[in-house]
Structure 1
Amino acid sequence: MTSTFHGIELGKRALFAQQTALSVTGQNVSNANTTGYTRQRAEMQDDKGLSLPGANGNNMQLGTGVVVNKLVRLREDYLDVQYRGENQNLGYWDAKSDTLSKIEGILNEPSDTGLASTMDQFWSSWQELSKNPDSAAARAVVRQRGVAVAETFHYLSDSLDQMKDDTLHVIDAKVKSVNDIVDQIGNLNKQISSLVANNYQPNDLYDQRDVLIDNLSKIVNVSVTNHSNGLVDVAIGTDFLVKGIDVNKLEGFDLSNGLKYPENITLNGNPLQLNSGELKGRIESYQKTIPEMHNKIDTLAKTFADSINKIHSSGYHLQNSGGTFNAVSPSDDFFKGIDPITGNILDPTKVDISAKNIEINPAIMDSLDLIAAANEGITGNGQNAQAIANLKFTGNLDFNGTTSTIDDYYRNIIGQLGIDSQEAQRMQGNSDVIVNQIDNRRQSVSGVSLDEEMANMIKYQQAYNAAARMVTTMDQCLDKIINGMGRVGL
């Protein structure tokens, strides 16, 4: 026989179980908009039964009620792996697209203030000078247009240098962010290991750790290994950032300590094995994308200056005494390489003209007469100025192995930049769409649906009310037994 109070115990367990389920539902509703929260479910099971003798010697099992077995996080590990794999691609293309977009902003083409427009005005000034080679006004325009071209080259060079320095600081911030996240994951692993060892379910800590891993996956390509004891290992390639409760940090790069070379970043003493992620995109921008653009602009500046200097130095300029061309002394270069710090003229046999150091010859800045507009010592001759103006259309100039005109070479730079930028934006958009699709699938499993929670709330409420009614019924039965039996005749 079962205890007289067996029904009360059944009702009590039912009340406790439904109350727990209602509390879990309330937790889900409360965190409906919490980033990274994984909805939970109270799993119930019937408790082990009591053996009862039955008719004809058949034993029976009488249930002892319901218990909440565990609180389950409704999460799909496979979707987490997919999400983090695509998130690292998104981070990489975000970085590439950002870099290329900024370079486009620096070059600012097509526009009225870009290098192409400035060079067009420069060629036009030589064309005008060829028509009136003795005009001081025309010479002044040539000199001023040359100054504008040099200043534009300076702006491009300085802006790319500043962008490279800024990228270095972004890389430094990302490295520190990785190390900070790794520390937090390691601390959470420690807390989780101590709770799981005592048969607790630290679901909230699991959520915090998953959010950190998601954030980390956008910066670097990580692989995650889950263990039955609740711990996770996080690795980049074959080297571990987190292994159990042990933490390893990125080293070899820290601007505050003078470590300025991101190619020296190591993990566990080994070179960092990056194949995707924002950090890889930033390092590629620093090491390749920005320097390659800088080299192209320097090549353009050098070929531009050398081509003009070759023609200019073979021409004739006005004598300072005025009136006739100097047919004796050769003309000097129109452009010189000037040290931007000291202001000294650089030796062209040792230092090439570049976007950073290109300047108008200081002698020409002092005297307009030294502009060589003629190709022979005849008054009114402007053939040398015309030859320089024709450089815009000259197609046999050598740009480090590439034969082109000056304008076409620069247009090719702009065109290739546009293609690369569009490709990066397209890949960024594709990655963003895929990440959102996977996240939507993940949210369909792990996210909180208020409609579903409201339905569960009603279900658990009705079950709770029924359990309470059963307790009331059993109380009335016990009251009859205790207060009503054995009172015959009273």
Structure 2
Amino acid sequence: MASTFHGLELGKRGLYAQQSALNTTSHNITNVNTIGYSRQRAEMQATNAIPYPGMHGDKSPAQLGTGVEVNKLIRLREEFLDVQFRNEYKNLGYHEAKSGTFTRIEELLNEPSEDGLAHTMDEFWKGWQELVKNPDSAAVRSVVRQKGVAVAQTFNQIMDSLDQMQNDLQNIIKTKTEEVNSLASQISILNEQISRRIVNDYQPNDLLDQRDVLIDQLSKIVDIDVKNSSNGMVDISVGNGALVTGKTSNKLTIGFDQNSGLVDPAEIKIGGQTVDLGSGELLGNIESYGIMGGNRNSTIPYYKDKINELAMTFANAVNEVHLSGLNLDNISGVSNTKVEFFTGSSAKDLKVNPEIMKSLNLIAAAKDEGGGQSSKGNGELAQEIANIKFKDLNFTGTTSTADDFYRNIIGQLGIDSQESQRMQNNYEGIIKQVENRRQSVSGVSLDEEVANMIKFQQAYNAAARIVTSVDQCLDKVINGMGRVGL
């Protein structure tokens, strides 16, 4: 039969097991607000039994239980939900970046408002309309000049602001690239730490949580593929480029074209291998900044081209009519010189002709009546310039008035922004749902943990009572037996 001391061993193992479970519960409770923490559970199992000999046989008719032990500390995590979360997180990052850019452009153009380009151009046309009534008035000519200055400066300011947006995005792209490389390096270090513990039969649950948090952060920036490797390590790839392989990591580099300044897709590399980012916050910022061959996907370059086309088509139309007319110096015979109203090769450097800024007489308002002659009070040319507002101009791929062309730009911007915001909201909802499901598996519930704590506490007290009972039995055997009558 079993020794009386066997009961002490049973109680001791019970104390150790319940204490370990209590410690695990305490660990869960204290990490209830830790980002990325996965709750843990002490998995108990009966220890190996020993033969329990019978009274009349040399074989073992039964097995004697030897108590309980904590077999392992389980980390409650659902890999499928992690994969689903990361697949949606990259899309959220992409549309957040795109939506942010569209919002900034909308704020810049500020339409409709009295400060927007549409209102400024409308005031410009009104200035010429007033000049029709008083073509020789210096005051009205001054208004026309100032309205022209306002239009030019508005174009300048829009282009300067778009350039600044690109500069900001370039810095963001470089920062996000460094962040990707930093996260990859940290993951490779954790891979090494995890593998060292697993080969020694330890369970590095907290290190696994730390690595999963980093992988989640990485999945928002770039489209990653995570595969389990040996000894608890993971390999991470972006496109066909290996970002993390076991204990080593490669660097992501982004190259810019020297001529255009745009991102060269052939120079997006990991470890010298050209890769396709697929999706993610970094790609959203790259497309917003401008990527070679991106066309409509190159957000800021697309709208810069449209604004520039509007500015130069508008300016050329005004200049063409302006050069065909006569200014006050021509009419009075002081000079035969005719000048363009606007100068500049793009919306960025568009301005009213410096000669007109020096002399209001060089503004042409009269139409040539023949032989380069005209009379004072002739405002027919001013009327022609004012009528450009309603004239169809030739833009790339379309014919429309300048106002309609600009309205199309604003309309397209609104559609792009609304669509991007809608996609962002959709993915935010999906991410929230997936994260809720993840938390239902991995999250810490204080109510549940307190209930477990009470359960393990009672089991611990019961195990302690076993030890006390066995101790009393042993005391009777040791100190009380053989003393008859005492």
Tell me the TM-score normalized by structure 2: 0.93
Instruction: Give distance in 1, aligned partners of 2:76 and 2:256.
Output: 40
CA deviations over 1:290-338 (Å, ceiling 9, x no partner): 1111110110011000000111110111127xxx45598363211111x
Partner of 1:342 in structure 2? Answer: none
Structure 1's 171 and 252: CA in aligned 2 closer, same or farther, altered over 3 A? closer
**For 2:443 and 2:47, how far apart are their aligned partners in 1?**
30
Going from structure 1 to structure 2, the CA distance change for 1:299 and 1:438 (only over 3 Å counts) comes to same
Tell me, yes or no, if the aligned pair for 1:168 and 1:260 is still in contact at 8 Å.
Answer: no
Residue aligning to 2:304: 294
Secondary structure of the equivalent of 2:324?
A: coil
Structure 1 residue 335 corresponds to structure 2 residue 342: yes
Q: 1:426-445 deviations in whole A, cap 9, x for unaligned?
A: 00111111111101100000
Task: In structure 1, give the amino acid aligned to 2:451.
Answer: A
Question: How far 1:254 sits from its partner (Å)?
Answer: 9.4
Aligned-partner SS, 1:265: strand
| Residue number in structure 1 paired with 2:85 | 83
Tell me the residue number matched to 2:194.
Answer: 192
8 A contact 2:241–2:274 mirrored in 1: no
CA RMSD after TM alignment: 1.8
Deviation at 1:362, TM superposition (A): 1.4
Cα offset, 1:252, TM superposition: 4.9
Q: 2:280 aligns with which of 270, 274, 277?
A: 277
Give, in whole Å, the separation in 2 of the partners of 1:191 and 1:116: 61
Residue aligned with 1:69, SS:
strand
Q: Deviations over 1:195-217 (max 9, x none)?
A: 11111111111111000000000
Do the aligned residues in 1 keep the contact of 2:184 with 2:243 (CA within 8 Å)? yes
1:266 match? 269
CA distance in 2, matches of 1:185, 1:51: 49
Counterpart of 1:225 in structure 2 is: 227
Q: Does 2:454 correspond to 1:458?
A: yes
Q: 1:385 aligns with which of 382, 387, 392?
A: 382
Shift of 1:107: 1.0
Matches within 5 A, 1:107-122: 107-122=109-124
Q: Any conservation in 1 of the 2:220–2:280 contact (CA below 8 Å)?
A: yes
1:375 partnered with 2:367:
yes
**Counterpart pick for 1:207 among 201, 206, 209:** 209
User: 2:481 corresponds to which letter in structure 1?
Assistant: M
Report the AA paired with residue 289 of structure 1: T
Distance of aligned partners of 1:272 and 1:464 in 2 relative to their CA distance in 1, 3 Å threshold: same
Query: How much does 1:126 deviate?
Result: 0.3
Task: Write the letter of the residue equivalent to 1:9.
Answer: E
The separation in 1 between residues aligned to 2:457 and 2:142, in whole angstroms, is 91
Residue 15 (structure 2) aligns with? 15
Task: State the secondary structure of the residue aligned to 2:4.
Answer: coil
What CA distance in whole angstroms lies between the structure 2 residues aligned with 1:60 and 1:253?
A: 74
1:153 is the counterpart of 2:155: yes
1:304 aligned residue: 314
Determine the structure 2 residue equivalent to 1:356.
Answer: 348
Partner AA of 2:26 in structure 1: G
Query: What code does the residue aligned with 1:141 have?
Result: V
Residue 481 of structure 1, CA deviation: 0.9
Contact conserved, 2:90 with 2:279, CA < 8 A, in 1?
yes
The partner residue of 1:470 within 443, 459, 466 is 466
Mapped partners of 1:309, 1:14: distance in 2: 95
The CA distance in 2 between the partners of 1:131 and 1:411, in whole Å, is: 29
Contact 1:49/1:61 (CA < 8 Å) preserved in 2?
yes
Distance 2:346 2:322 in 1: 18
Of residues 363, 366, 381 in structure 1, which corresponds to 2:358?
366
The offset of 1:125, in angstroms, is 0.2
Contact 1:319–1:325, Cα closer than 8 Å, also in 2: yes
| CA contact 2:177–2:254 (8 Å) conserved in 1 | no
Structure 1 residues without counterparts, runs of 5 or longer: 338-352
Of 440, 443, 460 in structure 2, the residue corresponding to residue 447 of structure 1 is 443
Name the SS of the counterpart of 1:160 in structure 2.
Answer: helix
d(CA) in 1 for partners of 2:407 and 2:251? Answer: 45
In 2: Cα distance, 1:391 partner to 1:487 partner = 126
Q: Residue 31 of structure 1 aligns to which amino acid in structure 2?
A: N
Unaligned 5+ runs, structure 2: 291-297, 369-373
Aligned residue type for 1:60: A
Pair 1:419-2:447 in alignment: no
Measured in 1, the distance between the counterparts of 2:186 and 2:39 equals: 23
In 2, the alpha carbon distance for the partners of 1:64 and 1:260 equals 72
The SS at the match of 1:43 is strand
Could you tell me how far apart the structure 1 residues matched to 2:96 and 2:40 are?
34
Q: TM-score, normalised by structure 1?
A: 0.93
Farther off after superposition, 13-22 or 327-336: 327-336
CA distance in 2, matches of 1:327, 1:132: 21
Q: Distance in 2 between matches of 1:196 and 1:254?
A: 43
Q: State the secondary structure of the residue aligned to 1:133.
A: coil
**Partner amino acid for 2:19?**
Q
**What corresponds to 2:64 in structure 1?**
62
Specify the alignment match of 2:51 in structure 1: 51
State the alpha-carbon separation in 2 of the partners of residues 354 and 252 from structure 1.
29
Deviation string, structure 1 residues 207-249 (Cα, Å, up to 9, x no partner): 1100000000000001111235111111112221111112111
* 8 Å Cα contact 1:315-1:330 kept in structure 2: no
Identity of aligned residues (%): 60
What SS does structure 1 have at the residue aligned with 2:43?
A: strand
Corresponding position: 1:479 with 2:479: no
CA contact (8 A) 1:172 1:254 kept: no
Q: Aligned with 1:229: secondary structure?
A: helix
**CA-CA distance at 1:52 after TM superposition:** 1.2
- Partner SS, residue 44 of structure 1: strand
Cα distance in structure 1, aligned partners of 2:187 and 2:419: 35
Secondary structure of the structure 2 residue equivalent to 1:112: coil
